[in-house]
Structure 1
Amino acid sequence: MRQQSQLALLGKRRFLPFFLAQFLGAFNDNIYKNSLLLMAAFAAVESLPFNSDMFINLAAGLFILPFFLFSSTAGQICDKYEKSMIIRRVKLLETVTMAVASGFIITENYLVLLVLLFLMGTQSAFFGPVKYAIIPQHLNEHELIGGNALVEMGTFVAILAGTLGAGILIEQPDAHILVAISVVFFAILGYLASRFIPRAKAAAPDLKINWNPFQQSLVMIRQTRSNDSVHKSIIAISWFWALGAAYLTQLPNLASETLKGSPQVVSTMLAMFIIGVAVGSLLCGRLSKGHVEPGIVPIGAVGLSLFGIDLYFAVTPATTSHLLSINAFVENSDNLRVLLDLGMIGLFSGLFIVPLYAIVQQRTPENRRAQAIAALNVQNSLYMVLSALFGMVFLGVLELSIEQFFLTLGVVNLLVCAFIFRRVPEFIERFVARFVKKVAN
């Protein structure tokens, strides 16, 4: 698919309302979550139910927990019922949750806000399966890779905008009121967008729902193993989210503690990574030319590792005792190399992830597609938790440096991808075929 036709999807009713609904959902999730964390970080000690460190870690856990608890049920519901209706109900739940949250944001009732954060995670857990299952029903096969590219681009831009937006809102004089108004306003916009999503028929209307989340999660994961390329693509996607979580979690400490950068520098580094993902996602759509192309995945994997390893060599710990402004930060050529590495890690992440999602959508039977995505979400959550534990052990227990952590991630990424490509030779075979074709032309 050409880049022009890829962006042209944004002008079509079968894609634009869905794109806006998912973009606004991801944006609002991050506005709410990051505003809550920032409010807790600067709140008076007596206003919190427990200390701020525990609060922040509990908040992160409560947002991920629903993906373990409800993904299996969400996947079954999405296969059993009409999908645009499910999206509207999920967005309505978000609107009601944010309307309730607005009052407690203003009164700074942090315990209730934690409960509502869990509810936001719940609606995200239900939106995830329908988000990816509806794309193949509304797009033609030659539009599949471009649609996924736009969705991944939109998701990461929404994460960046929501994260930065929360920081801007919290700095305002009437911060609590502005945050309360914002989360309700964007939830309503998302619901209104969902009203225009065309119908997407039920894929398995006769499905009998198993309400046991743990048993059903195991069943769905086993079902994905019936197709090795789908199963290994799911492992690769989950590994990507673990890798991405590791980078994003450590960026603030890398910027402030190692490189002595100001909050502006943290935002710039985060922006470089996420803009890179957005560019890589769109570039993947252009390179694929309308086909689901597994041969692009090895390009993304190698690039991820090369620039992840180079980040180790690029980082030069600052010797200054004061925090550097963004202007002072970029005067050091080593720091420019760090920003370039982060941007390229993001770009190759886009090349890596977009074809994998398209493979899962294309090669999973329609009547089990949402359940496959639900199984993927369960594994994503597990990998992200393991990533956090690995970071805690590596940096906290072993007391190794963040630079060494990034070097290890780059090397481990090569090993993980080598395992996947060995088990599914199609990735390398398609990559070689693309290379030979380019040389021949």
Structure 2
Amino acid sequence: MTDTTLAQPHPNQFALLGQRRFAPFFWTQFAGAANDNLFKFAFTVMVTYQLQVAWLPPSLAGLVIGALFILPFLLFSATSGQITDKLEKTRVIRFVKDLEIVVMLVAAAGFVLGLPAVLLGCVFLMGLHSTLFGPVKYAYLPQALDERELTGGNGMVEMGTFVAILLGNVAGGLLVALPGVGHTSVAVACVLLALIGRVVAQGIPKAPATDPHLTINWNPISETWRNLRLARGNLVVFRSLLGISWMWFFGAVFLSQFPSFAKEVLHGNEQVASLLLVVFSVGIGTGSLLCEVLSRRHVEIGLVPLGAIGMSVFAIDLYFASRASAPAAAGGVMGLAEFLADPAHWRVMADLALLSLFAGLYSVPMYALIQLRSQPTHRARIIAANNILNALFMIASAVLAGALLSAGFSVPQIFLFTGIANAVVAFYIFMLVPEYLLRFVAWVLSRLVYRFKVRGDQHIPTEGAAILACNHVSFVDAVLLMAASPRPIYFVMDWRIFRVPVLGWLFRLAKAVPIAPQKDDPATYEAAFERAAQVLREGDLLAIFPEGGITRDGQLQPFKGGLMKIIERARADGLEVPVVPLALTNLWGSFFSRIEKGGAMVRPFRRGVWSRVGLNVGAPLPARQVQPEPLRGRVAQLLAQG
């Protein structure tokens, strides 16, 4: 993290807009996204309605323009990722904005003189502009923001991007249609937006190169392949890249079908098609902004399964809602007022708004996770690999949607198939990367079953090995600790808990380490300590319940010596691992804890619903200062804080 990232705490993600490390960057990317879409949409309208171009018929204009814009992502993403890792990022951003000014000056001449061939060349160059900006856009954020700000910052960027897309499309359509001055107005607007973006970019603080000694491979084919192999080196990151690319596949299906869906299914005019785009963009923006609130300002990938569920539910319901749409009077098309007067159409818009909202919940944590977990020296190249995969998935969505339409399937049926496919793909991803599913369970438990409040979570290390030592009150203590930590935790747990239905499966999925008393099972006992040592060697978080079992009377039990054995093994590996004391509060007597006269998990509502529980986290203790009794005293102090 550079000096530019050190800032005072702020109340929410919107406060970032008042800080130099974020605001100039945000408005730079906003202006660029708006300009991309103003230019593309104005050009599409021009060749569709205003010019007769024999070699570019209106039916193919949108397809050709879209394909030309996305082509640079396939050709040059790998190269742009290398450039971003090698050079200081603000320098790259300013170069990209200089390029945008040059391209928009050429495009301005194309609009004024009515030269479609020149404008097609500019479409390709603006695609190149976006290809160069993509890696630096997402590689800059983790250098400028800390872990607690990363979700909110990504949410703001996603929201800003979709608002800019919406405003750019609206402005492009309105300006190009102005009688007599439409083309000139578009030309002036494109150049003006490029200039604004460059002026704002001047205020972005420096973000040092992460791999300045990198030798750039200018062969895009071999480097693309190398980037994809590099991304595969971290399976959680690579499968998250696939998850994001699937989201773009999903979104591209809907965005590409809005015009025909509005006209052929909903029987609406161009204004209705524009309304669908507005609803979709507002939904994405809202979902993106909600991520920080729902994640408690951490990178909360537990939101990803929630987003996937919502995407499927409302995509499938959109199919049923669209079947209830009535045709326009006399076989014509509805205007906006007539469309909104039909209550059936409000269900369609609600489905569209909610599926896009859940898509925002799905995508933002994935982007933040990739930024957080990617090796800093390779981060831009990983993001470049993401852009390559995104482009491939969007092309595949266009081909598949076209094939289904040619085979006689309707647009609502395509939405239905996409919703079902999303459920299948999401399930597959979550089985491949169980961390998403585990975090989702932890998120649900800590927000919907309990009112879970965490104090002192800044003491949980965001990087490096550490031991978390916590009291043991219930069968879900580990799940609550998962919810409190921004990183995965490996748990050393009593082997008997793995026999509990559902919870045992969950802990095996989490790769928890079973431990048995040495006299009962010496092999399991030794294997547990070896696995614990391996976790610490790999720089991960290890959690242990030093009491050795769940309390039977609600009181803190004596700490056993297993913790000291783990510390000694780490020291033998040359590691002085800090120990973080934690105390779970108010869990005794809840459904998942034992009670004095009865077992756990009986009488579900014995403490009502949504009961208050908490976790108090203490400052890390150096390993050399840790002894069982003083550590127990520190946990007791944290418990007393309530």
- TM-score, length basis structure 1: 0.98
2:317 aligns with one of 287, 294, 310: 310
Alignment of 1:75 with 2:81, yes or no, is: yes
1:96 aligns with one of 75, 81, 102: 102
Aligned residue in 1 for 2:148: 142
CA 43–376 in structure 1, closer or farther in 2 if over 3 Å, else same? same
Q: Distance in 1 between matches of 2:10 and 2:263?
A: 38
Alignment of 1:394 with 2:404, yes or no, is: yes
Aligned residue in 2 for 1:368: 378
Is residue 325–residue 344 contact of structure 2 (8 Å, CA) maintained in 1? Answer: no
Q: Distance in 2 between matches of 1:44 and 1:66?
A: 27
How many residues are treated as equivalent by the alignment? 439
Alignment of 1:60 with 2:105, yes or no, is: no
Aligned residue in 2 for 1:36: 43
Q: Distance in 2 between matches of 1:394 and 1:317?
A: 22
Q: Distance in 1 between matches of 2:370 and 2:43?
A: 34
Structural mapping, 1:3-22, within 5 Å:
4-22=11-29
2:263 aligns with one of 233, 241, 256: 256
Q: Higher mean Cα deviation, 221-230 or 279-288? A: 221-230
Aligned residue in 2 for 1:160: 166
Is residue 163–residue 282 contact of structure 2 (8 Å, CA) maintained in 1? Answer: yes
Alignment of 1:184 with 2:194, yes or no, is: no
Aligned residue in 1 for 2:340: 330
Is residue 3–residue 285 contact of structure 1 (8 Å, CA) maintained in 2? Answer: no
Is residue 66–residue 121 contact of structure 1 (8 Å, CA) maintained in 2? Answer: yes
Alignment of 1:428 with 2:454, yes or no, is: no
Deviations 1:136-190 (A, max 9, x none): 0111111111100000000011111111111111221110010000000000000
Structural mapping, 1:216-365, within 5 Å:
216-315=223-322, 316-320=324-328, 321-365=331-375
Q: Distance in 1 between matches of 2:378 and 2:215?
A: 13
Q: Distance in 2 between matches of 1:288 and 1:181?
A: 42
Shift of 1:246: 0.7
* Higher Rg of the two aligned structures: 2
For the aligned residue pairs, the C-alpha RMSD in angstroms reads 1.3
2:30 aligns with one of 23, 48, 53: 23
Aligned residue in 1 for 2:203: 196
Q: Distance in 2 between matches of 1:98 and 1:300?
A: 37
Q: Distance in 2 between matches of 1:249 and 1:4?
A: 38
1:415 aligns with one of 420, 424, 430: 424
Which letter maps to 1:25? G
Q: Distance in 1 between matches of 2:374 and 2:82?
A: 14
Shift of 1:317: 4.5
- Structure 2: segments with no counterpart, 5+ residues: 1-8, 452-642
Q: Distance in 2 between matches of 1:422 and 1:354?
A: 20
CA 3–307 in structure 1, closer or farther in 2 if over 3 Å, else same? farther
Q: Higher mean Cα deviation, 351-360 or 137-146? A: 137-146
Is residue 6–residue 285 contact of structure 1 (8 Å, CA) maintained in 2? Answer: yes
Per chain length, whose mean CA-contact separation is higher, i.e. which structure has more relative contact order (CA < 8 Å, sep 6+)?
Answer: 1
Q: Distance in 2 between matches of 1:362 and 1:211?
A: 27
Which letter maps to 1:233? S
Query: SS in structure 2 opposite 1:294?
Result: coil
Aligned residue in 2 for 1:404: 413
Deviations 1:193-234 (A, max 9, x none): 111100000000011111111111111111111222111110
Deviations 1:4-42 (A, max 9, x none): 421100100000000000000000000000000000001
CA 333–182 in structure 1, closer or farther in 2 if over 3 Å, else same? same
Is residue 21–residue 190 contact of structure 1 (8 Å, CA) maintained in 2? Answer: yes
Alignment of 1:109 with 2:115, yes or no, is: yes
Is residue 40–residue 48 contact of structure 1 (8 Å, CA) maintained in 2? Answer: no
Q: Which has the higher helix share?
A: 1
Which letter maps to 1:384? M
Which letter maps to 1:401? S
Aligned residue in 1 for 2:574: none
Q: Distance in 1 between matches of 2:284 and 2:316?
A: 18
Which letter maps to 2:424? L
Q: Distance in 2 between matches of 1:190 and 1:282?
A: 23
- TM-score, length basis structure 2: 0.67
Is residue 80–residue 202 contact of structure 1 (8 Å, CA) maintained in 2? Answer: yes
Deviations 1:250-298 (A, max 9, x none): 0111111111111111111111111000000000111111111110100
Is residue 49–residue 111 contact of structure 1 (8 Å, CA) maintained in 2? Answer: no
Identity among equivalent positions (%) equals 45
Is residue 325–residue 345 contact of structure 2 (8 Å, CA) maintained in 1? Answer: no
Is residue 72–residue 216 contact of structure 1 (8 Å, CA) maintained in 2? Answer: yes
Deviations 1:302-346 (A, max 9, x none): 000000000000003433311111111122111110000000011
Which letter maps to 2:260? N
1:132 aligns with one of 107, 132, 138: 138
Q: Distance in 2 between matches of 1:56 and 1:254?
A: 16
Q: Distance in 1 between matches of 2:275 and 2:63?
A: 24
Q: Distance in 2 between matches of 1:136 and 1:145?
A: 10
Aligned residue in 2 for 1:378: 388
Q: Distance in 2 between matches of 1:179 and 1:430?
A: 47
Q: Distance in 2 between matches of 1:440 and 1:20?
A: 39
Q: Distance in 1 between matches of 2:408 and 2:162?
A: 31
Deviations 1:352-389 (A, max 9, x none): 00000000000001000000000000000000000000
Which letter maps to 1:262? N
Aligned residue in 2 for 1:175: 182
Q: Which has the higher strand share?
A: 2
Which letter maps to 1:318? A
Shift of 1:51: 2.1
Query: SS in structure 2 opposite 1:142?
Result: helix
